[in-house]
């Protein structure tokens, strides 16, 4: 597959703390930061029947550049996912996530829907400029083996 085609592939990216760590994530924090970034962001909390946290999820939608994207934040299995996006959009989002949600000094790991299906482990997002993060995400997509 050519580089331009690979860059246009869309999947769900999942961002989580490194195993055994926490970001101290709260739905209020995610909503506040999303609305600071995009006052028109869509935010909806879906609580399950067991209470306000266990099994709950915060669904959101916002504009990233010219593109409207959607995601989910969860406290149980702490993390934030970004659905149906390119590696470029995921890289821009994870940089924002690291600057506005994740506490300083805490690591961010990533996987994708395809990576989970292929049994790939979560991988640390490198602390490098955005183009190198994109390259890391594209290498991950190639490693899934689903592009053959």
For residue range 21-49, list pLDDT tens digits in order.
Answer: 999 999 999 999 999 999 989 999 887 65
CB 62 within 8 A of CB 68: yes
SS3 content of the chain, % helix, strand, coil (to 5): 35, 30, 40
Q: Which CATH number fits domain 3-143: 3.30.310, 1.20.120, 3.60.90, 3.30.70?
A: 3.60.90
pLDDT at 52 over 60: no
The pLDDT, as a whole number, for residue 54 is: 55
Query: Phi and psi dihedrals of 49, rounded to 5?
Result: -75, -10
Q: How many CB atoms lie within 10 A of CB 145?
A: 12
For residue range 54-72, list pLDDT tens digits in order.
Answer: 568 999 999 888 889 999 9
First CA to last CA distance, the chain: 8
The pLDDT, as a whole number, for residue 123 is: 97
Residues contacting 77, CB < 8 A, separation 6+: 16
Tokens representing 41 are 């962001």
Q: How confident is the model at residue 5 (pLDDT cuts 50, 70, 90)?
A: confident
Q: What angle, rounded to 10 degrees, do the helices at 87-100 and 130-143 form?
A: 130
**How much is the mean pLDDT over the chain?**
91
Alpha helices, DSSP H, located in 10-86: 27-37
For residue range 67-114, list pLDDT tens digits in order.
Answer: 899 999 999 889 999 999 999 999 999 999 999 999 999 999 999 999
The pLDDT, as a whole number, for residue 145 is: 86
pTM of the model: 0.91
């Amino acid at each position: 597959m050519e580089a331009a085609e690979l860059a246009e592939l869309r999947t769900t990216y999942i961002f989580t703390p490194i195993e055994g760590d926490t970001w101290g994530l709260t739905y209020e924090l995610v909503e506040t930061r999303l609305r600071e970034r995009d006052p028109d962001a869509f935010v909806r909390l879906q609580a399950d029947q067991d209470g306000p946290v266990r099994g709950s999820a915060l669904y959101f939608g916002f504009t990233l550049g010219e593109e409207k994207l959607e995601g989910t934040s969860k406290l149980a299995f702490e993390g934030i996912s970004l659905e149906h996006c390119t590696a470029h959009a995921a890289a821009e989002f994870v940089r924002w996530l690291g600057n506005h949600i994740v506490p300083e000094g805490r690591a961010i790991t990533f996987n994708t829907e395809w990576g989970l299906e292929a049994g790939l482990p979560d991988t640390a997002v490198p602390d490098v400029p955005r183009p190198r993060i994109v390259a890391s995400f594209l290498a991950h997509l190639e490693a899934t083996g689903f592009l053959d």
